[in-house]
């Protein structure tokens, strides 16, 4: 049975911080961010935006009523959960109006979670080919003001509809996973920002890539010449570029090397303007590749390297389906350019604003521009969401 990704949606906040402004405020050479990290802009989420509003907006942008009637599982992968108990997918299931007889749950392993969710969706569809599974990767990445990770923050969500006979990509069932117990990046329950061993995390990322890639090639019998593109988890694009260079062995023909490099450059376009969105980063890179690469064609095989700190990594591949472009957008860059640009002072105030609850555990929230859904307040410790009414 052919199973894969039928639709991909993306949502981010309507506010952006230009990294040249951040560089100036932090007295850093702007080239360090634009060339050293390969980043240009970061999406900044206000207090009315969270993993629920972003996830629901990303999904709403792709789902038809028929999809909502057929989805029987909603999985949200996140590492910026808003509740220790109730899953984000339950809120999103309700906001989207998905039929009631569905399984909804949240999944976690740093930036890796959505990759496990996709494979679980595949297994589910093998048994129930008429159903559809909604996989959402949703995160807001906050490192804190003045931290080394500050220029790599971001906010956004990717929604993927997994079905039989998909219209974009088919899974090849060739996944190779790796787990190693390391403390490169982690966020204890009492902290709103992560603890990061920055250099060590980059070493772990690159070593997991090297060892997983060796094992993947051994098990699959494939090598880079069999791929049109490699997508990487993108904590910041420069690290992924190092990864690509690391696995391009010297025997690779110059034309293949050029193709992989060009497709890599297309895959980082959106992340360069959004930042790290943790669980969604790899899939934002995939979307960027599919929507921006003019040379991809049906049948092309694409490798994906998923990495979540802690650490779990996985390499797997997918093939492009005939007419895949019909399911994609052509104006996403223009949409990103419509985000409101914030001064550094406004970014610091808006991104790190905390909800101030009164003695009843309530607060009203308003005043920010939203996508399709908004967190409008908290009523006796219950978060309140509503659909945003857009002016015609």
Active site residue 215: no
Of residues 175 and 309, the one with the C-beta less far from ligand HMG: 309
- Our finding on whether 201 is near ligand HMG (CB under 6 A) is yes
Report the alpha-carbon distance of residue 65 to residue 101 in Å, rounded: 15
Q: Does 178 bind ligand HMG (CB under 6 A)?
A: no
144 lies in the site for ligand HMG, by CB under 6 A = no
DSSP string, 183-250: -SEE--TT-SS-EE-HHHHHHHHHHHHHHHHHHHHHHH---GGG-SEEEE--SSHHHHHHHHHHH--T
Residue placing its CB nearer to ligand HMG in the complex, 316 or 368? 316
- The residue range among 31-39, 254-262, 298-306, 332-340 that interacts with ligand HMG, by the rule CB under 6 A, is 31-39
Is 309 a binding residue for ligand HMG by CB under 6 A? The answer is yes
280: tokens are 């969604």
- Beta-bridge partner residues of 176: 315
| Residue given tokens 């900044």 in the structure block | 44
* DSSP letter string, 83-109: -SSS-HHHHHHHHHT--SS-EEEEE-B
DSSP for residue 324 = G
In whole angstroms, the minimum distance from the beta carbon of 311 to ligand HMG comes to 7
Q: Which stretch binds ligand HMG (CB under 6 A): 17-25, 129-137, 192-200, 371-379?
A: 192-200
- Work out whether 157 is an interface residue with ligand HMG (CB under 6 A): no
Per CB under 6 A, 205 contacts ligand HMG:
yes
Q: Is 381 a catalytic residue?
A: no
Closest CA to 320 of 216, 221, 224, 228: 228
Instruction: Kindly state whether residue 31 participates in binding ligand HMG, applying the rule CB under 6 A.
Output: yes
199 near ligand HMG, judged by CB under 6 A: yes
Q: How many amino acids of this chain bind ligand HMG (CB under 6 A)?
A: 29
The SS3 call for residue 292 is helix
The DSSP bridge pattern shows strands 169-171 and 301-308 to be unpaired
Q: Which residue has the tokens 């101030």?
A: 356
Smallest separation (angstroms) from ligand HMG to the CB of 181: 14
Q: Which residues contact 131 (CB under 8 A, 6 or more apart)?
A: 70, 71, 72, 73, 124, 125
Beta carbon of residue 206, minimum distance to ligand HMG (angstroms, whole number): 8
| Residue from 41, 49, 60, 79 carrying the catalytic annotation | 79
Is residue 237 at the binding interface for ligand HMG, with CB under 6 A as the rule?
A: no
CA angle 297, 223, 319 (to 5 degrees): 30
Residue 192, judged by CB atoms within 10 A of its CB (0-12, 13-18, 19+), counts as exposed
Asked about 233 being catalytic, the answer comes back as yes
CB of 170 to ligand HMG, least distance (A): 27
Among 8, 23, 88, 196, binds ligand HMG (CB under 6 A): 196
The nearer residue to ligand HMG, 166 or 275, going by C-beta atoms, is 275
Active-site position among 60, 111, 291, 314: 111
**Interface positions, 76-135, toward ligand HMG (CB under 6 A):** 79, 110-111
**Cα torsion for 308, 311, 315, 318, to the nearest 10°?**
-30
Binding site for ligand HMG (CB under 6 A): 29, 31-32, 35-37, 79, 110-111, 148-149, 152, 184-185, 196, 198-199, 201-202, 205, 233, 235-236, 239, 276, 278, 307-309
Active site residues: 79, 111, 233
């Amino acid at each position: 049975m052919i199973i894969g990704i039928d639709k991909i949606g993306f949502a981010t906040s309507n506010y952006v911080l230009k990294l040249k402004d951040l560089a100036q405020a932090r007295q850093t050479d702007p080239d360090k961010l634009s060339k050293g990290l390969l980043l240009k802009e970061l999406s900044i989420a206000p207090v009315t935006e969270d993993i629920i509003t972003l996830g629901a907006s990303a999904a709403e942008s792709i789902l038809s009523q028929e999809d909502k009637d057929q989805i029987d599982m909603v999985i949200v992968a996140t590492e910026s959960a808003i509740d220790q108990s109730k899953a984000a997918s339950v809120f999103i299931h309700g906001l989207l109006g998905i039929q009631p007889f569905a399984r909804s749950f949240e999944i976690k392993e740093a930036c890796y979670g959505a990759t496990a969710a996709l494979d679980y969706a595949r297994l589910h569809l093998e048994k129930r080919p008429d159903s559809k599974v909604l996989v959402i990767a949703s995160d807001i990445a906050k490192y804190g003001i003045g931290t080394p990770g500050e220029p790599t923050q971001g906010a956004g969500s990717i929604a993927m509809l997994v079905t039989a006979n998909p219209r974009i990509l088919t899974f090849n069932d060739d996944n190779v996973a790796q787990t190693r117990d390391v403390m490169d990046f982690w966020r204890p329950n009492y902290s709103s920002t992560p603890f990061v061993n920055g250099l060590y995390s980059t070493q772990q990322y690159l070593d997991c890539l090297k060892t997983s890639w060796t094992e993947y090639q051994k098990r699959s019998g494939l090598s880079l010449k069999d791929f049109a593109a490699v997508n990487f988890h993108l904590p910041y694009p420069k690290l992924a570029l190092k990864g690509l260079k690391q696995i391009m062995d010297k025997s690779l023909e110059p034309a293949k090397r050029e193709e992989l490099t060009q497709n890599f450059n297309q895959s980082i376009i959106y992340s360069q303007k959004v930042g790290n969105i943790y669980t969604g980063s790899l899939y934002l890179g995939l979307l960027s590749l599919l929507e921006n690469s003019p040379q991809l064609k049906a049948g092309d095989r694409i490798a994906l390297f998923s990495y979540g700190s802690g650490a779990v990594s996985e390499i797997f591949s997918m093939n492009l389906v005939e007419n895949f472009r019909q399911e994609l957008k052509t104006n996403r860059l223009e949409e990103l350019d419509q985000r409101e640009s914030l001064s550094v002072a406004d970014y610091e105030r808006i991104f790190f604003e905390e909800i101030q609850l009164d003695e009843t555990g309530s607060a009203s929230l308003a005043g920010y521009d939203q996508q399709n859904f908004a967190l409008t307040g908290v009523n006796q410790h219950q978060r309140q969401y509503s659909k945003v009414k857009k002016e015609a």
